[in-house]
Structure 1
Amino acid sequence: MNDYINYIPSNTPDFQTELAEKLAEFAPEAIADGKIDVEKLKELLNGDADESNERFGLFWPGKKRALRAAQQPTTATLKPDVENSKDWDTTKNVFIEGDNLEVLKVLQKHYHGKIKMIYIDPPYNTGKDFVYPDNFKEGLGTYLEWTKQVNEEGQKLSTNSESEGRYHSNWLNMIYPRLKLARNLLTDDGVIFISISDDEYGNLRKCLDEVFGESNFEGSIHWRRRHNQPNDPTKLIGIVAEHILVYARNSRALKKSGVGKLPLTGKFSNPDGDPRGPWNSKPWKVGTGQGGSRYSITTPAGNVYEEVWMGEERTFLAYLEDSRIVFPNGGAGFPRKKQFQSERAEKGQSATNWFTHEIFGSNQEGTSEVEELFEAKGLFDNPKPTKLLENLIRLGNLKDNDIVLDFFSGSSTTAHATLKLNAEDGENRRHIQVQLPEPTPENSEARKAGYSTISELSRERIRRAGEKIRQDFSEQLSKRNTPLDVGFRAYQLSDTSFSKWQVSSDTPANELEQHLLELRESANDNATPADLFVELLLKQGYSLTEDIGDVSIAGLDFKTVLDADGDVAVLAYLDEHSKPTLDQLREIADSKPVRFVILEDCFQGDDELKTNLVQICKTNGIELWTA
């Protein structure tokens, strides 16, 4: 009987175990007594294995522990927060409140290999901003207390100041496990952008080389974040720019799928009234050291130039016939080729590693955007401008239904930019935001305005941005085939809603046995059916935006997930206080769900009923799952 029942796992994937299983598949001779024989693996690798203890890399105190933090499974879940959501039933966007290390683990099951782009703006480790401490104990309690970020009164305890020692190590121990988990989520042609200042730039670059591979480094963008010139007599070098490190999940796959382009820039005009519209021009003469074809060209003024030109003579003559060649200086100058704005705009242009504030925005512009939305000042410190994120999304080459993830959401500029770009070009990109409910400073403008946490403020930014975009782009939006999605489903990170899973993996066997004996019910009393259902869906690998509904069958209440055709993909019975009858189970099977989920305690110890359900599901080709 048990062979036909699928048991929902209590925690997220165990990457150490999965890695061992993959090694066993590729190199079974390296497995001895169920364990990896490291020496045998070295023999198999032969010259590909490094025998030396000396090697190039980035090492710091706590690195091994940080790696274990990424690999350690969690029983944490995400609880639906419908009250703080916008357009829950229709939206495909997500906002998650919680510690991003745990959230990234929860996302692994469904979103592994499904995120096209990640952008993060983590703490820069300036000594003033908070850096998550080196605390990797499993089990949440409340995640604010779990991360030791605030005391019982909700006040922030500390920042990562240089006087505390292991200044850089603390920061690396925070970012390293998060990057390991983030890489897993990217599609094969996915890309990650990370904003960083000078303080940790060098360490982050080496860390990314290790996590993503040096061959997947795509570039380091220098973004001029301010347009005014600093005049600080205490500094030798004034800071006007910061860095954006760019890595691909797989550079070959990225190039194969096509890299993103930026909108065309430059000045265009139409002095000769060309019916093809505005144009600019570039020299037909080849620069020094470049290849081309040598031949003579006679200008309208009679000048004869024999030079090395960009294309062959027949190509030049074809362009000349098509009025694509101009001769400046009254027809006496060197020929130049017309470039029409309409033609170049379709192709866009490649990015460079220098982002100017005129095109990509500035911190001042980002601040103004927030002030305009909230009609208040000082709510966020140095928010990124939407121009910057819009262009990064373009570079990421995101199209319909592609997902961008930001797990240091902050002011939710990434969400705002995604919605705005969708309105501009008609696409339907999706976004996932993750933000810790870090308390706003007690006397801050945000606290005075009624926002007690950054996550509250962040969600409100998305709401207001969506409404403004609907107003600003009303004409374009009226022509869309599908409505612009400006909503989001809100979730909160919490410990599992199932009592039997609320046990740390390092709990001694005798304590674990006692815990199981004391259990009376599977689910917590304060957990709603929606809480239970979302957790079970996540642990089975479903997304956070499934079409969830309610249905009554044979007098019983069920939660459902519908597929794209409106058929029942998942049917779940979650009331452990009401044991279904055999006739009711038969009627349930008649609804032909693809998958049926039932809590173990719903049987209330009736093994005969359980056996009958197995046979009913088997006969009707229904997957049976229990928890």
Structure 2
Amino acid sequence: MNIEKLDLKSPDLVNENFEKLATLFPNCVTEGAEGKAIDFDLLKQELSHAVVEGNKERYRLEWPGKREAIVTANLPTTKTLRPVREDSVDFDNTENLYIEGDNLEVLKLLQESYLGKIKIIYIDPPYNTGKDFVYKDNFSKDAQEELIDSGQKDEYNQRLIANPETAGRYHSDWLSMMYPRLKLARNLLTDDGVIFISIDDNEVHHLRKVCDEILGEYNFVAQFIHKNNSNKNQANLVSVSCEYFLCYSRDLEVLNKEIWRIEKKGAKDIVKAFNQLKKQGLELDEVLDEIKDLYKRPKYAHLSRWNKIDEKGVFMDDNLSREGGAKDYTIINPDTGKPCPIPPRGWAKSKVELEKLREDNMIYFGDPSTPPRIKSYLTGEDLSVPDSFWYIDNSIDTRWQKQTFNSLIFENPKPLELIRLIMEMSSAKDSIILDFFSGSATSAHATFQLNTEDLGKRKFIQVQLPEFTNEKSEAYKAGYKNICEIGKERIRRAAKKIKEETKADIDYGFRVYRLDSSNMQDVYYKPQDYDQNNLDLFGDNVKSDRTADDLLAQVMLDWGLPLSLKIEQIDVSGKKVFKVAENSLYACFDSGIDEDFAKAIAQDEPLRIVFKDNGFKNDTAKTNVKQLLKQLSPETEMKVI
């Protein structure tokens, strides 16, 4: 039996007064550096009939930590990406990437290699429901202090913190997390690129303000509404069943030169239903009643305009007029035998065209007192401008999970069809698609699926922090200790299943990279600290646990080359050489580089070549190799690490 305990302390009058003011003046409650606070300047104004002079007013979104968020985006990183071949599929040939690590630092590492190259960014960040975790980005503290302060507990340098609704900086922490990531993401978009961001009611209004600031209010494309078949919040007043995804362009003027089209989803089903019902011998009115019953289902509601029927199929009546059209002729209504009324704006067709349409039974006469209209039949091949309201049945994804994994190993994944539709309407066949809150890797799965449909060569980049799975979750019980393990396995299984079912010849592989500290030694000694015992530290500036694969990845990033480029390994004069994208980059990290090697490698005339600084046979060889490359392959740019 629980018995309430005495508080044994006096009332907190400050908190009581705060709550009273918050009740009277909710607009004066804000977030400060220490948590929730009262905006006293605004309170003064609320208590005065005259304008109270104060801080200069401006139209913008402010929060505690915004300046630090801007600084965070601009700070360089010393980290690198290390390849994980054992987790990859077809590493040397695939152009798809899966990157494990903090997405902020990964975005910084991608700035040169993918600047202006990403056509679509799709992200599904934490919704800030009070139960989500957000990143705590604080680069001003030393590593150990940050480790303790942010509650990190694994080798992946996680910086996730709980963000309950009761937190004094509930909105501020979330905004500080999103701001630098969006700022860096914008740099990666092509001129006609777009970013889609999934979000719910908790932060959609703030997210729009942040996107207006970073991407430009004038680059706003749409706020799509996603209606699913699950109710997330069974509240007393409203059961929430909609989410949103905001869409912004890099440059709307450039994007407007494109035409977005998608298939009329469900149209094939309606056409199939029409044909089946006709075969059953039903009257046309009965067939139409059955079709209208289908339209009552959310999946087909968007097709309800096709609400008429004849022997040819289901149709809607469309406009036959245009401004400034002809008004000096008409056609005869076969039902009345009288001339049809002329549209007030005039006909959009010539008299010959009108007569031909009438002969082909392509005109809907309807009410004899109104101008006739043209029949527009529903077909399974129709394309349409995408609507801003989408209904996606996410029970399909639940069934796929159960079939593929025998359990629900990832919770609340985005519907595969939703992401596929986004890609269908806004990508080209060779687009790069980035998702830096990858989760269960739905966007990678969708990329495979769409590529099989149109034999496209879209490439994905997935970025995900390896967050631990809950020990009570189905994923943990199935052996998946972190989210990255789930994402990678989903990609493997989805690729295998799609390949078996479609036999499509597309890229089913992916390269795995993992964020880590620099490959270079961190050795800092004052001159007086040197002694014979530590001189060997300078013999090799590369950390002892790093491989040639690790070094190649860092070189590609530093040189601004995409990590998706084809990598080959060849033998030149007995040394292992990495050959990236034909002759775009040669890299050799073996020791004993000399003049004979330089002569052999110069025959291929690589655009770039890199060695380890201590990889030369001696200082003389280092000088001679550089001179030989200048003479024998003058276009080759040589560097060392």
Match of 1:600 in 2: 613
Match of 2:244 in 1: 243
**Greater Cα offset, 304-313 or 120-129:** 304-313
Residue 410 (structure 1) aligned to one of 427, 439, 444: 439
Q: Distance in 2 between matches of 1:97 and 1:141?
A: 22
User: Aligned pair in 2 of structure 1 residues 311, 487: CA closer, same or farther (>3 Å)?
Assistant: farther
Q: Distance in 2 between matches of 1:450 and 1:256?
A: 48
Q: Distance in 1 between matches of 2:597 and 2:631?
A: 16
Match of 1:128 in 2: 131
Contact 1:574 1:598 in 2 (8 A): yes
Contact 1:550 1:557 in 2 (8 A): yes
Residue 579 (structure 1) aligned to one of 579, 592, 613: 592
Match of 2:39 in 1: none
Q: Distance in 1 between matches of 2:147 and 2:403?
A: 35
User: Aligned pair in 2 of structure 1 residues 147, 420: CA closer, same or farther (>3 Å)?
Assistant: farther
Unaligned runs of 5+ in 2: 1-54, 279-283, 285-308
Aligned residue identity for 2:376: Q
Match of 2:622 in 1: 610
Q: Distance in 2 between matches of 1:511 and 1:247?
A: 57
Match of 1:624 in 2: 638
Mapping 1:332-351, distance limit 5 Å:
335-341=372-378, 345=381, 348-351=383-386
User: Aligned pair in 2 of structure 1 residues 512, 434: CA closer, same or farther (>3 Å)?
Assistant: farther
Q: Distance in 2 between matches of 1:469 and 1:200?
A: 36
Q: Distance in 2 between matches of 1:156 and 1:537?
A: 27
Mapping 1:39-50, distance limit 5 Å:
none
Contact 2:223 2:388 in 1 (8 A): yes
Q: Distance in 2 between matches of 1:277 and 1:516?
A: 88
Q: Deviations over 1:406-433 (max 9, x none)?
A: 1001111111111111112222211111
Residue 309 of structure 1 and its aligned partner are, at CA, apart by 6.3
Residue 291 of structure 1 and its aligned partner are, at CA, apart by 7.7
Aligned residue identity for 2:586: L
Q: Distance in 2 between matches of 1:332 and 1:127?
A: 60
Mapping 1:196-235, distance limit 5 Å:
196-226=199-229, 232=234, 234-235=235-236
Aligned residue identity for 1:282: D
Mapping 1:40-189, distance limit 5 Å:
54-137=57-140, 148=150, 150-152=152-154, 158-189=161-192
Q: Distance in 2 between matches of 1:309 and 1:190?
A: 42
Match of 1:11 in 2: none
**Greater Cα offset, 436-445 or 554-563:** 554-563
Q: RMSD of the TM alignment (CA)?
A: 3.5
Q: Distance in 2 between matches of 1:516 and 1:100?
A: 37
Q: Distance in 2 between matches of 1:60 and 1:516?
A: 50
User: Aligned pair in 2 of structure 1 residues 559, 327: CA closer, same or farther (>3 Å)?
Assistant: closer
Tell me which structure has the larger Cα radius of gyration.
Answer: 2
Residue 333 (structure 2) aligned to one of 281, 290, 299: 299
Contact 1:284 1:310 in 2 (8 A): no
Match of 2:575 in 1: 556
Unaligned runs of 5+ in 1: 1-51, 478-482
Tell whether 2:563 aligns with 1:529. no
Deviation beyond 6 Å, 4+ runs, structure 1: 138-142, 153-157, 329-333, 508-517
User: Aligned pair in 2 of structure 1 residues 580, 157: CA closer, same or farther (>3 Å)?
Assistant: closer
Residue 392 (structure 1) aligned to one of 400, 422, 427: 422
Match of 2:449 in 1: 420
Contact 2:107 2:181 in 1 (8 A): yes
Aligned residue identity for 2:247: V
Tell whether 2:575 aligns with 1:547. no
Tell whether 2:460 aligns with 1:431. yes
Q: Distance in 2 between matches of 1:88 and 1:152?
A: 27
Match of 1:28 in 2: none
Contact 1:412 1:458 in 2 (8 A): yes
Match of 2:601 in 1: 588
Q: Distance in 2 between matches of 1:146 and 1:432?
A: 31
Q: Distance in 1 between matches of 2:253 and 2:464?
A: 32
Q: Distance in 1 between matches of 2:159 and 2:265?
A: 45
Match of 1:32 in 2: none
Q: Distance in 2 between matches of 1:220 and 1:603?
A: 58
Q: Distance in 2 between matches of 1:141 and 1:456?
A: 27
**Greater Cα offset, 615-624 or 332-341:** 332-341
Contact 2:326 2:346 in 1 (8 A): yes
Q: Distance in 2 between matches of 1:511 and 1:117?
A: 54
Q: Distance in 2 between matches of 1:146 and 1:466?
A: 40
Q: Deviations over 1:331-371 (max 9, x none)?
A: 998633233556x936x111222112xxx333x33333322
User: Aligned pair in 2 of structure 1 residues 419, 310: CA closer, same or farther (>3 Å)?
Assistant: farther
Contact 1:386 1:416 in 2 (8 A): yes
Q: Distance in 1 between matches of 2:507 and 2:548?
A: 27
Residue 623 of structure 1 and its aligned partner are, at CA, apart by 1.5
Q: Distance in 2 between matches of 1:139 and 1:489?
A: 32
SS at match of 1:87: coil
Q: Distance in 1 between matches of 2:189 and 2:202?
A: 27
Contact 1:281 1:339 in 2 (8 A): yes
Residue 610 of structure 1 and its aligned partner are, at CA, apart by 2.4
Aligned residue identity for 2:544: D
Q: Distance in 1 between matches of 2:142 and 2:450?
A: 39
User: Aligned pair in 2 of structure 1 residues 511, 211: CA closer, same or farther (>3 Å)?
Assistant: farther
Contact 2:260 2:425 in 1 (8 A): yes
**Greater Cα offset, 489-498 or 450-459:** 489-498
Residue 132 of structure 1 and its aligned partner are, at CA, apart by 0.8
Q: Distance in 1 between matches of 2:606 and 2:148?
A: 40
Contact 1:285 1:307 in 2 (8 A): no
Contact 1:548 1:560 in 2 (8 A): yes
Residue 385 of structure 1 and its aligned partner are, at CA, apart by 1.0
User: Aligned pair in 2 of structure 1 residues 186, 511: CA closer, same or farther (>3 Å)?
Assistant: farther
Contact 2:330 2:340 in 1 (8 A): yes
Contact 1:299 1:333 in 2 (8 A): no
Q: Distance in 2 between matches of 1:320 and 1:230?
A: 55
SS at match of 1:533: helix
Q: Distance in 1 between matches of 2:118 and 2:192?
A: 10
SS at match of 1:95: strand
Q: Deviations over 1:130-170 (max 9, x none)?
A: 1112423488899x959945325999974111223211110
Contact 1:115 1:402 in 2 (8 A): yes
Q: Distance in 2 between matches of 1:277 and 1:140?
A: 72
TM normalised by structure 1 equals: 0.78
User: Aligned pair in 2 of structure 1 residues 418, 315: CA closer, same or farther (>3 Å)?
Assistant: farther
Residue 293 of structure 1 and its aligned partner are, at CA, apart by 5.4
Contact 1:191 1:247 in 2 (8 A): yes
Residue 185 of structure 1 and its aligned partner are, at CA, apart by 0.5
Residue 243 of structure 1 and its aligned partner are, at CA, apart by 1.0
SS at match of 2:479: coil
Once the two structures are aligned, what percentage of the paired residues are identical?
38
Contact 1:386 1:414 in 2 (8 A): yes
Residue 244 of structure 1 and its aligned partner are, at CA, apart by 0.7
User: Aligned pair in 2 of structure 1 residues 487, 557: CA closer, same or farther (>3 Å)?
Assistant: closer
Q: Distance in 2 between matches of 1:511 and 1:115?
A: 50
Match of 1:375 in 2: 406
Match of 1:463 in 2: 492
Q: Distance in 1 between matches of 2:594 and 2:348?
A: 87
SS at match of 1:244: strand
